[in-house]
Amino acid sequence: MIFTLKKGIMGGTFDPIHYGHLVTAEEVRDYFGLAEVVFVPSARPPHKIGQKVSDPEHRYLMAVLATVTNPYFQVSRVEIERPGPSYSIDTVRYFKDLWGEGTEVFFITGADAFSQISSWNNPEELLKLCTFVAASRPGYRLLGVENKYQERVRTIEVSALAISSSEIRWRVKRGESIKYLVPEAVENYIYKNELYRN
């Protein structure tokens, strides 16, 4: 198979999207020469059942606000419109179909998410359909990944950014600053809509 184009998918809860997500996607895009990266907010993350997750429309809009300044970034509503649990395998199949045979699909994850891949729905097929990119901080080794998966995965060290959505939610709840952890428009959106206050 000769691929003519490379495109990336970055799935996540994005509650909220932050500079860790954005820097990772941009570094992966640049390094692998991706023509575009699509952020896919998960409507009903199967691994976050029982946890409180913000309305998908808020998470979608924050992703749009965060990505407007990057011409290579898009946000997709595919998981929001699809009923049932949001499985990455369904999303990858959807984009494979949309983009066609000639496009090599890169699925971008953080090393923490990637190390859980054996618990995802149908990891074998997922790894056949796309190239996985596991992004880690310099010095961080990919632990707990079975060898059979490791072969199909590209790893990349991304500039150290210890930002997480959980940390941002806690900070908002405690009334602490989140300036420079998320784009300004996302920060304003969080306050305007009183997210993460309780």
Pull the structure tokens for residue 191.
Answer: 């306050």
Which residue in the set 73, 109, 133, 190 belongs to the binding site for ligand ATP (CB under 6 A)? Answer: 109
Count the helices and strands in the chain (H runs, E runs).
9, 6
How far is Cα 38 from Cα 91, in angstroms, rounded to an integer?
11
Query: What is the chain's Cα-based Rg?
Result: 16
Interatomic CA distance for residues 70 and 43, integer angstroms: 23
**Of 135, 172, 178, 181, the one binding ligand ATP by CB under 6 A:** 135
Of 32-40, 66-74, 96-104, 105-113, the window that binds ligand ATP (rule: CB under 6 A) is 105-113
Nearer to ligand ATP, 24 or 91 (CB): 24
CB of 33 to ligand ATP, least distance (A): 20
Binders of ligand ATP in range 8-27 (CB under 6 A): 12-15, 20-21, 24
Footprint of ligand ATP (CB under 6 A): 12-15, 20-21, 24, 109-110, 112-113, 135, 158, 161, 163-166
